[in-house]
Structure 1
Amino acid sequence: MMRLERGSSRLYAMMLILAVVVLLADQLTKFWAVSTLSDSERIAVIPPLIHFRLLYNAGAAFSIGAGATWVFALAAAAAVIGILYTARRLASTGWALVLGVLLGGAVSHLGDRLFREPGFARGHVVDFIDYGPFVGNVADIALTCGCAAMLLLSLRGVPLAKTPEEETA
């Protein structure tokens, strides 16, 4: 059973709440896109920079690996498990926020892979925010920002987790 120290449990809860917010924002905007946009429609939001355009992505970024959707489902599941395990001894608010954003994006993409058409572990991710050469969604934005923030925290030397010595002190 996972044991969390008092400070860590507060940070863990913060991470989980942020993950749920990202997950809900992503899934609600995807629901909107699927119910509102047609496959060929392109709606200008901030021309010429941002449009809405509905796509179903079977692959990863740039639709790479469209024939290996199950691999991306496994990768998303591994990311979720890895984040939940690593976050047991969170040491900072910054890392709790970063891991929350990453967890929310990973869970949302995992849900798409598992439960969307064409079937279990082969589902396509709904993309609808068109930024020129890229088309993505809220989870993609969260994952990109989370990775950038993770890099910044790492470069600044902010510790991710408490060491076992710090936990017993």
Structure 2
Amino acid sequence: MSDDRPIHQNTPENPEVHDVAAEDDTTNDPSASHRTVQPGEVKPLRTRLLVLIALVILALDLITKIAVVQWIAPGKPVEIIGDVVTLRLVRNPGAAFSMATGMTWLLTIVAVCVVIAVIRISRTLRSPWWALGLGLVLGGALGNLIDRFFRAPGPLQGHVVDFVSVGWWPVFNVADSSIVCGAILLVVLSLFGFEPNGQRTHSKKADAVAQSEGEA
């Protein structure tokens, strides 16, 4: 009678046999290497989206201004909805909605600073909503900035072409409405904690609290 025993015999004297078999099954499983927790994926940059939105707004602003200067005479508004909505040519030396009319050169410098700030933010921009807001602001700022540089009476003092008149509201253009809409969107995003890099403020705080509780 032989005393030889199988190497992997399932006996109480060999409790580690089950662990060895489990390791062998894991080794033979081709999907085992994919079971490790992968780090969170980094969101893609949204610079192209920002540039695309800005170019669309800029093109619309330039085309509409050229058409208005060509087809609408000063002092002869075109009625769209009676006297409530009209198209009228107005040369605006001030900011959006005819504000700060005596500070044309300062407004030009402010517009240049806005463009530079948006370009700097775009380097780390990963939120599509921020890309939309900044694209609206950038396109509008560039549209009015072109008027400041290339329209009469001269560089840095050029008057912006406004043409949309709605009721009692000051006359405005595509660039003005784009800047205002973009600025409102950016304020809302900031209030709700959305950041340009695609993260959210309150979620980062929650992660920090969870991490501190785990360490405790």
Task: Give the corresponding residue for 1:7.
Answer: 44
Task: Give the corresponding residue for 1:142.
Answer: 178
Q: Does 1:80 align with 2:115?
A: yes
Structure 2 unpaired stretches of 5+:
1-41, 200-216
Structure 1 unpaired stretches of 5+:
164-169
CA distance in 2 between partners of 1:147 and 1:121 (Å): 23
Q: CA deviation digits over 1:11-37, x for unaligned, max 9?
A: 101100110100000010000000000
Report the RMSD for the aligned CA atoms in angstroms.
1.7
Percent identity between the two aligned chains: 38
Q: CA deviation at 1:141?
A: 1.1
CA distance in 1 between partners of 2:43 and 2:68 (Å): 41
Q: CA deviation at 1:58?
A: 0.5
Which of 32, 38, 42 in structure 1 is aligned with 2:77? Answer: 42
Higher Rg of the two aligned structures: 2
Per the normalisation by structure 1, the TM-score is 0.87
CA distance in 1 between partners of 2:101 and 2:67 (Å): 24
- C-alpha contact (below 8 Å) 2:43/2:198 kept by paired residues: no
Per the normalisation by structure 2, the TM-score is 0.69
Q: Secondary structure at the match of 1:158?
A: coil
**Bigger relative contact order (CA 8 A; separation at least 6):** 1
Which of 145, 154, 168 in structure 1 is aligned with 2:190? Answer: 154
Of Structure 1 and Structure 2, the greater helix share is in: 1
